[in-house]
Amino acid sequence: MNIHLTKSQIGLDGVPAAETVLSHVDGERGELIIAGEHVAELASRSSFEGVTARLWTAATGRPLAEADVRKSLGAARGDARPVDADLLPATRGLSIVDGFRAAIAGLRAENGLDHEATIVGAFPVIAGALVRRASGDAPVAPDPNASHAADTLAMLRGRKPQPREVTALDAYLVTVCDHGMNASTFTTRVVASTQADLFAAVTAGYCALTGPLHGGAPEPVLEMLDAIGTRERIKPWVDDALSRGERLMGFGHRVYRVRDPRADVLKAAIERLATDGADLPFAGEVEAYIRQALRRKNPDRPLETNVEFFTAILLDALAIPRQAFTPIFAVARAAGWTAHAREQQRTGRLIRPSSSYVGPMPG
């Protein structure tokens, strides 16, 4: 009784909570392996459908090819249209992030498709409809024959994307589709461990994703770059924010003690996209100064660039509104969440940890 836990114990730092064949994060070496491949390798040659096929195959033991997933996601996007029309009224008056939460909570099994395909297919349809409504536009009908990345961009922006834009979004979707036992995946697995269905498990995962310490960081990254504004203001702005004890979004990670490997994959995707919409040299100067300032402030705690810094720049360069960044993260991570939920149901056990009671005793 009355045993106070350390900060690391409270955060479950380094505590394994599942056996998984889906992904592995090595925080010391800065490595991420997804379904047996390094993330940089996967992002350079796999589509979102390809990596989703690998994750679902690994989770269920049922072999799936990229073409099977492309077909089922196309069908699911097509079927999601009536669902989305039903669900949108429930999201009236809510922000895009909150509306997305309300809409996905109302998803249900449709037309005999696997639950995982229904979920992953519906996500971009819902995100697209919410983004379009926010700008006063009508939703764009999904194209079941397009790739998931191409159709996501078309439904968000209302015009057919260029091939290099599709390549860039596909690289993003692959890069962030899964990432070990992060907070939202853990949440998903806890819910799945009760044998609740995939819709419940993934909705819970999305709720965890929305916090700024997890998937809610990219919008504030852009706000930070906007607030800094010019090269001359980098040093005073950053020094000031740190002296007020603020956390700088897009930096630091619970597991990585070196640079997040996904940051460089996304930086390379932005370079290949070659658009005037991304001021990479300015972002690079901000990044370099923040890393230096964080080293000065916390010499014993390595705080490096994380995936969210370049996520913000990439999604902004693709003209995706910043208010939709977290739902777009979910479009990608839904592949990982559904795989983890299935794996948990198949091989796991009810997750039920204990707590240390530090309250008063009776009498």
For ligand ACO, the binding residues in 217-276 under the rule CB under 6 A are 217, 247-254
Residue 306 found at the interface with ligand ACO (CB under 6 A) = yes
Helices 183-193, 325-347: axis angle to 10 degrees equals: 40
Q: Which of 44, 145, 298, 347 binds ligand ACO (CB under 6 A)?
A: 298
Residue 39 found at the interface with ligand ACO (CB under 6 A) = no
Residue 333 found at the interface with ligand ACO (CB under 6 A) = no
Q: Which residue is catalytic, options 219, 253, 304, 340?
A: 253
Q: Which residue has the tokens 């995962």?
A: 205
CB of 363 to ligand ACO, least distance (A): 37
User: Cα(283)–Cα(194) distance, rounded to whole angstroms?
Assistant: 44
CA within 13 Å, CB half, 228? 26
Find the part of the chain contacting ligand ACO (CB under 6 A) among 17-25, 49-57, 295-303, 347-355: 295-303
**Has 253 been annotated as catalytic?**
yes
Q: What is the DSSP letter of 232?
A: G
CB of 250 to ligand ACO, least distance (A): 5
What are the tokens at 59?
């989770």
Q: Which of 78, 99, 139, 215 binds ligand ACO (CB under 6 A)?
A: 215
Q: Which residue is catalytic, options 116, 165, 308, 343?
A: 308
Site string for ligand ACO, 19-38 (x = CB under 6 A): --------------------
**Alpha-carbon torsion (178, 182, 186, 188), positive or negative:** negative
Question: Long-range contacts made by residues 96-100, C-beta under 8 angstroms, separation at least 24?
Answer: 96/127, 96/130, 96/131, 96/134, 96/321, 96/323, 96/324, 96/327, 97/210, 97/216, 97/323, 97/324, 97/326, 97/327, 99/130, 100/126, 100/127, 100/130, 100/206, 100/326, 100/327, 100/330
Q: Which of 213, 274, 288, 358 binds ligand ACO (CB under 6 A)?
A: 213
Residue type, 294: L
| Cβ-contact 97, 139 below 8 angstroms | no
Find the part of the chain contacting ligand ACO (CB under 6 A) among 97-105, 129-137, 156-164, 302-310: 302-310
What are the tokens at 240?
């000031």
Give whichever of 134 and 242 is closer to ligand ACO, judged by the CB atom. 242
Site string for ligand ACO, 165-204 (x = CB under 6 A): -----------------x----------------------
Find the part of the chain contacting ligand ACO (CB under 6 A) among 68-76, 81-89, 211-219, 314-322: 211-219
**Has 165 been annotated as catalytic?**
no
- CA dist 352 → 190, 191, 263, 318, 355 (Å): 8, 11, 34, 42, 10
CB of 196 to ligand ACO, least distance (A): 24
Q: Would residue 36 be called left, alpha or beta, if left means φ above 0 and alpha means ψ between -120 and 50 degrees?
A: left
Q: What is the DSSP letter of 26?
A: E
CB of 306 to ligand ACO, least distance (A): 4
Which residue numbers are catalytic?
Answer: 253, 308
Binding residues for ligand ACO, rule: CB under 6 A, are 182, 213-215, 217, 247-254, 294, 298, 301, 303, 306-308
